[in-house]
Structure 1
Amino acid sequence: MKLPVGLGRQILLAMSAITVVAGLIVFFGTYLAYTVMIAFYPRLESDDGGLTLTDLAILGAAILVTLPIAVFVALRLARRILEPLETLALSARRIADGDLSARAEPGDRSLGETAELVDDFNTMAQRLQDMAADMALWNATIAHELRTPLTILKGRLQGMIDGVFEPDERSLRGLVLQVDSLARLVEDLRTVTLADSGHLDLHREDVNLAVVVAELAEFAGPDLAAAGFPVRLDLHDVIVRVDATRIRQALLALVTNARRHGAGGAITISLGVSERTVLLGVADHGPGLTPELAARVFDPFVRGDLERSREVGGNGLGLSVVRAIVEAHGGTLRYRPAPGGGALFEIALTTSGPPDRVARRDAASPVRTV
């Protein structure tokens, strides 16, 4: 029989030593007890007061019998402990070599801690594999998104060099639009990546969100109204500690999304407070989302109406950017059908401030259209 190495040999030697020591303790303990009994009851003493060959033979036989049993038990225990650990080490080496599909076998689950260790390792390996798959998908998707504007830029510039296109103001403006598209894509990717890694910088200050919303509506309202999307405001004064620039960016992305996928009609922006939660919503009169799309609408590069997105311009990152900004503030972004039909995207920001400092509701504030 080949002796195990490492931990298995240590277990075997330890069990053997325990067996020998236990046998000696039992034998000499019995001998000591017998000596004490003779001191009180002299008549129990035999003619031979020392250890006999028979006693030594009994001791040796006991050790010879118990030692193989200890070796057998030690080998079984070592095998039960080492099998999952060996598969764990082998899987770790395979993962280190680039095989992220490697998994360890828990073996005998009666060893609870060992089985939990293997399960935790397999969970970690699965997450690594999922992250690698997500990264590969991201790289492929980003490459796809960059290909179109870069191809247009290269083709137009090459055409100007070859004299096919005249470098007039209209052509140059078209090139600038493609550059803007690339810049927007890069900035959106940067925002989502920083937020996912917990490194999105926020410059928080106490701001009145109603003022922020009103300013954005005044800026974007005329263009939206000209496109058939007048902006309706239902605002109450809400003071909360946020990064006003980032919240404005998220709100503009939601309004742009409503314009891109809406079917026309007013875009309603509402702001209020419910049980220490600030609610900022953007609702449209579009067709809304299907249940399948609603379940993954906040994932990167997910688009609803592809043709509409290409027509108006979109890279499928708008709602992902909004979610990243909201979660960086400790809030949540959720979707539900709008009461009058269409889609309602609602930003919920939890605040711990006192109610009289968090919100000042002006009951006379009317719903108005910009």
Structure 2
Amino acid sequence: MMAPRTGLSRQILIAMSAITVTAGLLVFFGTYLAYTAIVAFYPMPDADGSLTLTDLLIVGGVIIITLPIAALISFRLARRILEPLESLAENARRITAGDLTARARVGDRALGETAALIDDFNTMAQRLQDMAADMALWNATIAHELRTPLTILKGRLKGMIDGVFEPDESSLSALVLQVDGLARLVEDLRTVTLADSGHLDLRIQPIRLAPEIEQMAELMAHDLSTSGFQLDLDLADVVVDADATRIRQALLALVTNARRYSVRGTITISLAEEDGEIRLGVADEGPGLSPGMTTRVFDPFVRGEPARSPDMSGNGLGLSVVRAIVEAHGGRLRYRGAPGGGALFEMIFVKANRSPAAHDA
């Protein structure tokens, strides 16, 4: 048994019924008026100018036959319109109740705008479901990343309280390293989250990148040399509109990533202008990324091969932070194989419309 229709469904059915009845009445009276006009302008012999009973019966019979047909057509049209809308309303209520798997049925795609509305609704529902799944994954992954250093901190501190461990310089330094790791994780999460929401604080101004990179290279050279790496610079003198602090943060993350995962050798920082773009790249000597990692390497908490130095293990957010910073500048981050067989990560920015000389002035 069909449930009584309410709301929009009832209004559409009432409107369709009214249209059908009105159309029948218009046909009847229109026929009568047309016949009267024809007789008035073109009188027929032996005719009194009015409809006879036979004429009325013929017109009435035609209306009686066509009216149910028109009603059936109207009902079917209303049903075609209502089915996807009722499905949309029902599944919208399911999503409101928390069922993000709900999807509306498109029905007849001949109703173009209705079908497009259903498609848009289903796309929105899929994105909500994906966002909820991503959020659940993020929460689980963050909890996992926080659990290890917190467990170590708790165990060590409890051991010191119980007298199991001596609070010497070595033990305290190890605890400080765990705290630094937590602080780095929190800051990386903050950067990625702010960038995704469009609220990453940037102080954009024209800067000459080459001197900034040279200063960083001087600071990093000793630690890299200690780890068996040599830093090579290939820098053009270009100007880009950027936040110098954030660019240094991104560059440091790329160099750290190369130091963590590549074989010992040369890490090359290149800066060049090509096709109206500024390309700041960091290349190593291998082994590069596996084919399956190239499409996922910039996703949060995705790690490639294990770090070659155990003390250099990361949290899987380094490249995500770099991408967030670059995209916040209106640029893009790209990976490709380096000429020597290693990995090359390039930060690509739009060139500033000014010259270094003008900036110096």
TM-score by length of 2: 0.92
Task: Deviation per CA, 1:131-163: give whole Å up to 9, x if none.
Answer: 111111111111111011100100000001100
Structure 2 match to 1:365: none
Q: Percent identity?
A: 70
Give the corresponding residue for 2:90. Answer: 90
Deviation at 1:308, TM superposition (A): 3.1
Q: Equivalents in 2 of 1:179, 1:267: separation in Å?
A: 29
- Give the Cα separation in 2 of the matches to 1:299 and 1:64: 68
Q: How do 1:331-346 residues align onto structure 2 when only pairs under 5 Å count?
A: 331-346=331-346
Within 5 A, what are the aligned runs for 1:167-206? 167-206=167-206
Q: CA RMSD in A?
A: 2.2
**Alignment CA distance shift 1:268-1:307 (3 Å):** closer
Secondary structure, counterpart of 1:98 in structure 2: coil
Label 1:9 to 1:59 Cα distance change in 2 as closer, same or farther (>3 A): farther
* C-alpha distance after superposition, 1:163-182 (max 9, x if no partner): 00111222111111111100
In structure 2, distance between residues paired with 1:102 and 1:175:
48
Note the 1:269-280 alignment, pairs <5 A. Answer: 269-280=269-280
**Aligned counterpart, 1:321:** 321
Distance 1:323 1:309 in 2: 24
Task: Tell me the SS of whatever aligns to 2:165.
Answer: coil
Partner residue, 1:26:
27
Aligned equivalent of 2:47 = 46
Match of 1:62 in 2: 62
Whole-angstrom distance in 2 between the partners of 1:16 and 1:62: 18
Distance 1:285 1:166, change over 3 A: same
Equivalent in the alignment of 2:18: 17
Shift of 1:201: 1.0
The offset of 1:100, in angstroms, is: 0.9
Q: What one-letter code is carried by the residue in structure 2 that aligns with 1:85?
A: L
One-letter code aligned to 1:180:
D
SS at match of 1:99: coil
Q: In structure 1, what is the equivalent of residue 254 of structure 2?
A: 254
Relative to structure 1, is the Cα distance of residues 189 and 284 closer, same or farther in structure 2, using a 3 angstrom cutoff? same
Residue 308 of structure 2: SS of its match in structure 1? helix
Q: What is the TM-score normalised by the length of structure 1?
A: 0.90
Query: Distance between the aligned counterparts of 1:136 and 1:43, measured in 2?
Result: 86
Kept in 1: contact 2:32–2:51 (CA 8 A):
no
What amino acid is aligned across from residue 106 of structure 2 in structure 1?
P
1:235 partnered with 2:235: yes
Structure-2 residue corresponding to 1:77: 77
Deviation at 1:54, TM superposition (A): 3.7
Aligned-partner SS, 2:110: coil
2:260 and 2:309 in contact (8 A); partners too: yes
Q: CA deviation at 1:103?
A: 1.1
Instruction: Decide whether aligned partners of structure 1 residues 11 and 62 sit closer, same or farther in structure 2, where only a CA change above 3 A counts.
Output: farther
For residue 214 of structure 2, what is the amino acid of its counterpart? A
- Runs of 5+ in structure 1 lacking a partner? 361-370
Question: Match for residue 110 of structure 1?
Answer: 110
One-letter amino acid matched to 2:32: Y
The separation in 2 between residues aligned to 1:62 and 1:14, in whole angstroms, is 23
Q: Distance in 1 between matches of 2:313 and 2:260?
A: 8
Is the alpha carbon distance of 1:34 and 1:313 closer, same or farther for their aligned partners in structure 2, counting shifts above 3 Å?
closer
Counterparts of 2:182 and 2:357, CA distance in 1: 39
Match of 1:296 in 2: 296
Please state how far the C-alpha of 1:197 moved relative to its aligned partner.
Answer: 1.1
Distance 1:139 1:219 in 2: 36
> Is the Cα–Cα contact under 8 Å of residues 333 and 347 in structure 1 kept in the other structure?
yes
**DSSP 3-state at the match of 2:32:** helix
Q: 2:16, 2:78 within 8 Å by CA — same for their partners in 1?
A: no
Partner secondary structure for residue 102 of structure 1: coil
Is the CA contact (8 Å cut-off) linking 2:281 and 2:344 kept in structure 1? yes
Q: Which has the higher contact order (CA 8 A, sep 6+)?
A: 1
How much does 1:71 deviate?
A: 2.0
